[in-house]
Structure 1
Amino acid sequence: MAEEKRIETTSGIEIKEVYTQPSGMDETPGQFPYTRGIQKDMYRGRLWTMRQYAGFSTAAESNKRYHYLLSQGTMGLSVAFDLPTQIGYDSSHDMSEGEVGKVGVAIDSLKDMEILFDGIELQKITTSMTINATASILLAMYIALAKKQGADLKLLSGTIQNDILKEYAARGTYIYPPAPSMRLITDVFEYCSKEVPKWNTISISGYHIREAGSTAVQELAFTLANGKSYLKAALDKGLDINVFARRLSFFFNCHNNFFEEIAKFRAARRMWANITKELGATHPDAQKLRFHTQTGGSTLTAQQPYNNIVRVSNQAMAAVLGGTQSLHTNGYDEALSLPTEAAAKIALRTQQIIAFESGVTDTVDPMAGSYFVEALTDEMEAAAKVYIDKIDAMGGSVKAIEQDYIQQEIGNAAYAYQNAIESGERVIVGVNKFTQTEENHGDIFRVDDTIRKHQIAQILALKNSRDNTLVNRNLEQLKTAAKGTENLMPFILNCVENYATLGEVSDALRSVFGEY
């Protein structure tokens, strides 16, 4: 008799043929440890925020896409920045050549931010900004614009990613060494807790860890380990965990293995509740894991791109069944280019169909009590805890990253996954099975290289019209503060309000902190 084939999740957790015993699940949604959801009524009370990620070319072009998405029913904006903006270079810098406006919008100064949100009242929307090394600068520009609009900063809401640890581990858009980078993050925590209390000051991101090739268990473990390091850094600064931990949010990926992803989200909530409690959090809002989900960009295929609509739908459904607070669905054409307007609309409609037609929002945690889902939630937690305990023993995420441990684990997982595809052990429809001769892909979105010339002209005009003496004084004050221990946010805000460029502010900090 042939030996039965072992079936596993993508993280290597064995899936049994049948599950007969529930894990003794008697939790109530909205109560510690929040496995079943952070709100008692979940989507019966309020749907997740449908937040479509957009940004390309110039601020004016991105502004048109934002108005389009808002007109189609998106509930929050999510800004993608180009590579120079992410790593602190103006569009005019030599390093920016060939990259301006390509993977996101080019923001060189407050002037660009004013154009980006032209006709949009910041107090009336929530904005998520995917920015890390220069997060403090972009947040300062956003606050400066809100002030110009006359907004009440106490009501301003949104999120900055601001998660530098995963940049060192998986993505690479860091500028400064880890210690000053962590200082900038905790400065943002402290400043916002007083001045912009509804702002989510960090979105601790597993998304890019997963895109770099990690398993679902690794994504869960490394993200929560990073979160733990941010909690400890803020506690070391003397901040109150019951205040700052309420404004932490998370950003997860949702991949193809439907039940594994649902179990991952349920396990994440339970684990985070226990981590925060162990570090002294007593307020329920400081113990709750709130998260945004994006469907898996790396799962999208350039071959047979319409198949991606089905993949995105499956992933979005898993995120909703897993209890996400906010969701971005990818365009089916993103393996080929930035999404076209048509693809962005289908992606948004996918969320709206799940919300209003599927019935999955009618009850809280519809998967609860499934023998399989409950067992898998427990196993995801146990497997992730092994990693977290190992990272704790190394001295936390910063030490684990410095020792290359996290990077190597992700690299090994990515290699194993690719081998499984190439051997045919893992089927990717249209890639290694059910293939066909590829047809012309039709319209794909292209960003013109002349954008850089436009941005350089804008920067020159700005420098000719602003008070350069005042800007230079602001930049010197920022450098002096960076050498000490003062909170840097008020100094950065002064610089950008007087139209210092992103590159000038980054260079002022580079001159003190150095580059990593």
Structure 2
Amino acid sequence: MYDDDDLEAIREADEDWSHETLEPTLDRHGERQDRFATVSNHEVERLYTPDDIADLDYLDDLGFPGEEPYTRGPYPTMHRGRTWTMRQFAGFGTAEETNERFHYLIDEGQTGLSVAFDMPTLMGLDSDDSMSDGEVGKEGVAVDTLRDMEVLFDGIDLEAISTSFTINPSAPVIYAMYVALADQQGVPREQIRGTLQNDMFKEFIAQKEWVIPPEPSLDLVTDVVEFSTAETPKFHPISISGYHIREAGSTAIQELAFTLADGFAYVEDAIERGLEVDAFAPRLSFFFNCHNSFFEEIAKFRAARRIYARVMDEWYDAEREESRRLKFHTQTAGQSLTAQQPMNNVVRVTIQALAGVLGGTQSLHTNSFDEALALPSEEAVRVSLRTQQIIAEESGVADIVDPLGGSFAVESLTNEIEAETMAYIEEIRDLGEGSVRDGVLTGIDDGYFHREIQDASYEYQERVERGEEVVVGVNEYTLDEDTSPDILQVDETAQQRQLERLESVKAERDDDAVADALEALADASERGENTMPYIVDAVKSYATMGEIMDVFETQHGAYSERIGLA
């Protein structure tokens, strides 16, 4: 971007500034600390100049929004054309209570739904399972059968709303219920819109929710991709998630590298299944965390788009632009929220949300200030949603496409993150002897990802303990008084009400039809067929979540993580 003479003149001027202006100031006042680094412990320089991006080629490395390599954004007008989808995570108690919260959020201006499920549902267990006792409806909504889904979306037109489902081991069952509900409503399958997380690799890497082992879990993920490509072309079958990798303690670079590697692994598996990359890749989406280090997060998002575009082109021969255009949802960092002085979280979330917007997100969830204490209260959810609306409507940051593009600091950080991320991805590819998919499976099996994240998490906590990483209200600027707000209390009768509905469904359904549907599913799975049509049939017979997942556990066995990894 600068010729050699310009760069040499800038270097000389920089040296003069250092001696004549900077050094006297440092001698008199010094700086706040000896070393400045991001939350990920990535050291940042005092000042960035054109010399830090001397090798940057504007057209090849930046280009223009909506054109490769999409560094400056996946679409030409970005948020000038349409603001990001404001999608608050919601779910607690029974389907009735969550449906009420959905309608409240829609009335308050939310533009997409995002469903939180309770732990039994996430793990493919029914509410009447002994393992579910005490957990029903506690951290999300309980969904056992299609009847719950009918109540959950009562009064909500599936053709008019986009819905995100944060669920993984039992994701195919929830997706099947949504498809069955669309059939009930008379909504053509090709019109339903939404996103299914359905990312099992990050479960084995970070979040630790699973039922069956990694390889058959991958088969189910690809079943959804294949089925959705034919049946629900507006629905995103996977949201490849770095969010939980970051929440487990990874650095920003590890989050990006492991997430992109997971995405490339899914691409390879679908191609091996026989799918054309350009048939399914346009509907792959990603889900990233946005933490406190403002410029690092923006650079991470920009690097993600650039890496994805080039790898999809060079490694997988994706021809359509839509196949090389990375699109992502962002959630502010739950890990950064503090129970101490929870109103401080409003500020944290605002900064993180702003970074997500400036980084070019397509969808955004802002955490509520009380989430370190409980599920969000109605007031906290409203403040969280208003944070997004103020950024969109009052701040002006959505009016300029990639306003930080060309910043010496941001472009330098983008380059550094890209290089370090690609080094990780190549290492994972080497683990698989040229296959990213096999590298991810090997890394899960031998504990590679666990060790990397564990080391990063431990180092961060050490910095907090030493006071090198300031957490306001926790290790600095503390208060002795109780600052806890009023929090949401889940009705303790929710479990009993859910059990009563489940019992009623079991009493009213056709048991022979359920048995036939489950047997057909088991046979299809054993034959290696795509199981999604059979799961849809099973949920339409009102087979339960647990009954359907038991089919897969019976065939493949339950997965147990190996202990004592070296």
| TM-score using structure 1 length | 0.98
- The question of 1:376 aligning with 2:413 is answered yes
Name the residue aligned to 1:344: 381
Question: AA paired with 2:286?
Answer: F
Q: Deviations over 1:6-52 (max 9, x none)?
A: 32223333211111114343411111110100001111111110001
Equivalent in 74, 80, 92 of residue 44 of structure 1: 80
State how far apart, in whole Å, the 2-side matches of 1:240 and 1:157 are.
22
Which of 287, 301, 307 is the equivalent residue of 1:251? Answer: 287
Give the partner amino acid of 1:282.
E
Equivalent position SS for 2:383: helix
- The question of whether the paired residues in 2 share the 8 Å contact of 1:98 and 1:449 is answered with no
Confirm or deny that 1:208 pairs with 2:244. Answer: yes
Moved more, 383-392 or 323-332: 383-392
Q: Deviations over 1:355-404 (max 9, x none)?
A: 01111111110010100000000001111111111111111211111110
Which residue pairs with 1:424 in the alignment? 467
Aligned to 2:260: 224
Equivalent in the alignment of 2:364: 327
Match of 1:25 in 2: 58
Cα distance in 2 between the residues matched to 1:99 and 1:199: 30
Q: Which amino acid aligns with 1:16?
A: E
Confirm or deny: 8 A CA contact 2:39 2:292 kept in the other structure.
no
Aligned residue in 2 for 1:62: 98
Q: Which residue of 2 aligns with 1:316?
A: 353
* Alpha-carbon distance in 2 for matches of 1:319, 1:399: 32
Instruction: Name the residue aligned to 1:8.
Output: 37
Gaps of 5+ in 1: none
Q: Aligned pair 1:181/2:217, yes or no?
A: yes
Following TM superposition, by how much is the alpha carbon of 1:441 offset from its aligned partner in structure 2, in angstroms?
1.8
Cα displacement string for residues 184-243 of structure 1 (whole angstroms, at most 9, x for unaligned residues): 111111111111011000000000000000010100000001111101111110111011
Check the 8 A contact 1:303/1:438 in 2, yes or no. no
The answer (yes or no) to whether the contact 2:340–2:483 under 8 Å persists in 1 is no
Matches for 1:116-515 after TM superposition, within 5 Å? 116-278=152-314, 279-395=316-432, 396-515=439-558
Rounded Cα–Cα distance in structure 2 between residues aligned with 1:464 and 1:97? 21
For the pair shown, the structure with the greater C-alpha radius of gyration is 2
Partners of 2:69 and 2:319 lie apart in 1 by 12
Aligned counterparts of 1:441 and 1:371: Cα–Cα separation in 2: 42
Q: 1:53 aligns to what?
A: 89
Q: Does the aligned pair in 1 maintain the 2:370–2:485 contact within 8 Å?
A: no
Partner AA of 1:407 in structure 2: H
Give the 3-state SS of the residue equivalent to 2:115 in structure 1: strand
Could you tell which deviates more after superposition, 339-348 or 439-448? 439-448
Counterpart in the other structure of 2:564:
none
Aligned to 1:159, the other structure's residue is in SS state strand
Aligned length: 516
User: Contact 2:246–2:252 at 8 Å: present in 1 too?
Assistant: yes
Q: Within 5 A, what are the aligned runs for 1:47-126?
A: 47-126=83-162
Of 25-34 and 176-185, deviating more is 25-34
Does the 8 Å contact 2:145/2:542 carry over to 1?
A: yes
Partner deviation per Cα, 1:268-307 (whole Å, 9 max, x = no partner):
0001111211211010000011000000001000001100
SS in 2 for 1:252: strand
Where 1:302 maps in the other structure, the secondary structure is: coil
Measured after TM superposition, the shift of residue 449 of structure 1 is: 3.3
Decide whether the 8 Å contact of 2:216 with 2:556 is kept in 1: yes
User: Partners of 1:162 and 1:465 in 2: how far apart?
Assistant: 31
Offset from partner CA, 1:131-185 (integer Å, 9 cap, x none): 1011100000001011100101111110000000000010111111111111111
Alpha-carbon distance in structure 2 between the residues aligned to 1:290 and 1:440: 39
- Give the distance between the partners of 1:331 and 1:235, measured in 2 at CA: 40
Query: Identity, % of aligned pairs?
Result: 53
Q: Is the 8 A contact 1:136 1:489 kept in 2?
A: yes
The root-mean-square deviation of aligned C-alpha atoms, in Å, is 1.2
Is the contact between residue 78 and residue 127 of structure 1 (CA under 8 Å) also seen in structure 2?
Answer: yes
Unaligned runs of at least 5 residues, structure 2: 1-26, 433-438, 560-566
Structure 1 residue 415 displacement after superposition: 0.7
Q: Deviations over 1:57-87 (max 9, x none)?
A: 0000000000000000000000000000011
Residue 436 of structure 1 deviates from its aligned partner by 0.7
Letter aligned with residue 522 of structure 2: K
Distance 2:81 2:475 in 1: 43
Give the match for residue 14 of structure 2. Answer: none
Distance 1:68 1:450 in 2: 22
**CA distance in 2: counterparts of 1:223 and 1:197, whole angstroms:** 23
Matches of 1:203 and 1:438, distance apart in 2: 41
Give SS of 1:78's match: strand
The AA in structure 2 aligned to 1:205 is: S
Deviation at 1:491, TM superposition (A): 0.3
The CA distance in 2 between the partners of 1:82 and 1:41, in whole Å, is 38
Q: Could you tell me how far 1:440 is from its partner in structure 2?
A: 4.9
SS at match of 2:88: strand
User: Secondary structure of the equivalent of 2:287?
Assistant: strand
Cα deviation digits, residues 433-487 of structure 1 (max 9, x gap): 0001132524111213332221111111111101001100100111111111111
Q: 1:258–1:315: 8 Å Cα contact kept in structure 2?
A: yes
